[in-house]
A and B are shown apart, each in its own frame.
Chain A
Amino acid sequence: MSRDRILSAIRQGKPDLQPLPDVIGFPSHIADTDLADSFLTMVRTNGGLGVRANSLDEVRAQIASEYDLTLPTLSHVDGLDLNNFTPTENLRLLDDLNLVVLEGSVAVAENAAIWFDETALGIRALPFITLNVVAIVSTRNLVGTMHEVYKRVDLNTSFGTFIAGPSKTADIEQSLVIGAHGSKTMTVFLLP
């Protein structure tokens, strides 16, 4: 059986035990007071739009002025009921989605990656199939680096993803095009 053959070949060929480093990761060099600014700068670098907002009401007003809410919209954020679309078993129908609004449980200042797990997403395909994504993040849930964020996220979730901006590609002559297969825009509202 291949499994046993591979394992025994590894046992025969592997080197003597090499120790793991004692400490994994490095302290963040972003000061706590700079987390929000660094995060918002990186949102822009990633091709997204970063906006500070003071309350969900403010977010709701901005969404209403920026997006056509008569088009298929789904929100999974408590207190932001914008739903006019009922997903069915048939995931392919999600292709009609214009806007998905999600809340990130933790986000990283060094690269503006925002974590969404299965609870936040509900349906895994949502942020990838929709045309536009709005993400809500609280300043309290910002960390400096990827080392810190892995202390915060629960990797025992069935599925979780870091999303850092709208989808993009540079496969044609290295010219950056925003909007490859995933969402074409991503707006991040940073709440206190």
Chain B
Amino acid sequence: METPVRTTHHAEAAAAFLRDEENVDWHNETLWFVRSKRDKAAAALPEWEDLREQASRIKNHTLSRLDEYLLDLEKNAQQNGITVHWAADADEHNRIILDIMRQHNATQVVKSKSMLTEECHLNPYLIKHGIDVVDTDLGERIVQLRNEPPSHIVLPAIHLKKQHIGDLFHQHLGTDAGATDPQYLTEAARLHLRQKFLLADVAITGVNFAVAETGGFVVCTNEGNADLGAHLAKVHIACMGIEKVIPKGEHLGVFLRLLARSATGQATTTYSSHFRRPAPGQTMHLVLVDNGRTRQLASPDFRNSLKCIRCGACMNTCPVYRRSGGHSYHTAIAGPIGSILAPNIDMKQYADLPFASTLCGSCTNVCPVKIDIHQQLYKWRQVLGEAGAVEPAKKVGMTGMDFLFSRPGLYRFAGRAGRQLMKFFPALANNGSLNPWAIHRDMPKPPAQSFRDWYAEQEKK
């Protein structure tokens, strides 16, 4: 018998996160604060909405000629002395990197933030093959020492309080017991990681944007860790999803204006570095990775998600993410955008994620490249339902709803009947054993009158 697919994983993990009420409140409010900084930065630019539109159109255009731009990028990068690799999936990506390491007899790697390498599970792979990998972004180093994945693509350790980090650093870096001052802890990490930078044979970085026209690529950080790694090591490997290419240098102006403002409300990241040729005596590699992206591209409903520039704004604003924490999504990229990307990689394993949303649309409103995030989440629910990837109990409810939505007369009746029923027997609708949706969603109080009834009455008056 086929094992029933479980779609409640997110809800269960969220329930565990919610047990620490104080931490949940802090998490919720802190991310909302980041979201309000984003709002302030956006409001300071009168052209903000037009800028989003421009970014969206540049990305749409690029996707419609993606093959040509990748070929331009490859040709120009090679002319500049960069070795270009193509990886069909995560395994090939990891093998390519290990091969490069072996060619250089390298054992020490420093890595700056790259969600792609998280997606490919590069760290465990390299460690298994005897390579010492050190994540150098402070938040990423924290979660690496805790043996956890990042819980947010921009703020990897946002699920932790300074006491956790103080204890962790006391244990691993020898900071004073009980010390929790962020300045002190950051300084300790700086000293610890500086030694790693100085000893590394190879630096791995992500890529924020690659420019077809110049064959170069741009890496943005606030900490300076990508640059320190890349400039000190003899070998620099930059890894990018194939959707990260843009046509021209002038397009960088549009994206760099949007990225940091959307992410943290800063006018720019501290460092935006443009790599085009290896330094004398250095070797530079660029790895182009598919890992499901061409499948996403071929789907008119979901290809739009490939425009993502990984700013994290959709997470900061999401009422579900803020209260359930990044780990509850059990995938490299959490939150609304991750819930669209993950089922494309494995529909069964991630069937729960498109349901981890209220479909309120706030993500869509903040997205700097105008991805219709909440609509795609809704579409995934249909796809998953049709493919039978949804838990049977939830599916019955969904089919029932589809049935109602496609029969407006019946829908109106059911609504009215439901309002009567819920008024007299609210426990019925909120009882998890009868209504599987009630476990994860409190049923709203029934309005005394539906809008339709109210409108009809006004007409009569």
Enumerate chain A interface residues (CB-CB to B < 8 A): 1-3, 5-7, 9-21, 24-26, 29, 42, 45-46, 89, 91-92, 95, 108, 110-113, 123-125, 128-129, 145-151, 155-175, 177, 179-183
Contact = CB atoms under 8 A, between A and B. Distances in A.
Interface of B: 30, 33-34, 46-47, 50-51, 54, 57-58, 60-61, 63-67, 70-71, 80, 86-88, 92, 136-139, 142, 155-158, 160-162, 165, 182-183, 185-187, 190, 193-194, 197-198, 211, 214, 216, 222-225, 227-228, 231-232, 242, 247, 249-254, 256-257, 264, 266-277, 279, 281, 288, 290, 294-295, 297-300, 303
Given A6-B294, A24-B251, A145-B253, A180 B182 contact: no
Contact of A171 (B50, B138, B277): B138
Given A14-B64, A161-B227, A182-B224, A20 B157 contact: no
Given A5-B88, A180-B190, A181-B223, 20 more contacts: A7-B71, A14-B297, A15-B64, A20-B57, A25-B54, A129-B232, A146-B256, A146-B268, A155-B276, A157-B276, A159-B273, A159-B279, A161-B227, A161-B274, A170-B264, A173-B30, A173-B160, A174-B34, A175-B162, A182-B225
B272 A180 contact: no
B211 A182 contact: no
Nearest to A24: B250
7 contacts: A6-B294, A17-B65, A20-B57, A45-B267, A113-B272, A146-B253, A165-B270
Instruction: Among B70, B137, B252, B281, find the residue whose CB has the most chain A CB atoms closer than 10 A.
Output: B252
Contacts of A12: 298
A38 to B, nearest CB: 10
A125 B232 contact: yes
B190 A91 contact: no
Given A2-B290, A156-B214, A171-B155, A20 B223 contact: no
Contacts of A92: 198, 232
B46 A91 contact: no
Contact of B182 (A14, A29, A151, A175): A175
Contact of A18 (B57, B232, B254): B57
A168 B250 contact: no
Contacts of A113: 268, 272
A91 B137 CA distance: 21
B66 A14 contact: yes
A179 B86 CA distance: 37
Nearest to B136: A181
Contacts of B264: 170
Contact of B224 (A111, A174, A181): A181
Given A7-B71, A10-B66, A16-B64, A167 B222 contact: yes
A171 B157 contact: yes
Nearest to A150: B253
B211 to A, nearest CB: 7
B257 A172 contact: no
Instruction: Among B71, B186, B264, B303, find the residue whose CB has the most chain A CB atoms closer than 10 A.
Output: B186
Instruction: Among A25, A180, A181, find the residue whose CB has the most chain B CB atoms closer than 10 A.
Output: A181
Given A2-B86, A14-B66, A182 B294 contact: no
Given A7-B67, A92-B198, A177-B183, A150 B249 contact: yes
A150 B222 contact: no
Contacts of A17: 61, 64-65
Nearest to B274: A160
Contact of A173 (B58, B60, B162, B222): B162
Contacts of B214: 155-156
A78 to B, nearest CB: 23
Given A151-B250, A159-B273, A174 B155 contact: yes
B138 A169 contact: yes
Contacts of B157: 171-172
A17 B194 CA distance: 47
Shortest beta-carbon contacts, A-B, top 3: A182-B224, A13-B298, A111-B267
Contacts of B294: 6, 9-10, 13
Nearest to A42: B267
B93 to A, nearest CB: 10
A93 B157 CA distance: 32
A21 B156 contact: no
A18 B274 CA distance: 27
A29 B232 CA distance: 40
A34 B245 CA distance: 35
B256 to A, nearest CB: 5
Contact of A180 (B138, B156, B256, B266): B138
A167 B225 CA distance: 9
Nearest to B71: A7
A18 B58 CA distance: 9
Instruction: Among A14, A46, A163, A179, find the residue whose CB has the most chain B CB atoms closer than 10 A.
Output: A14
B64 A18 contact: yes
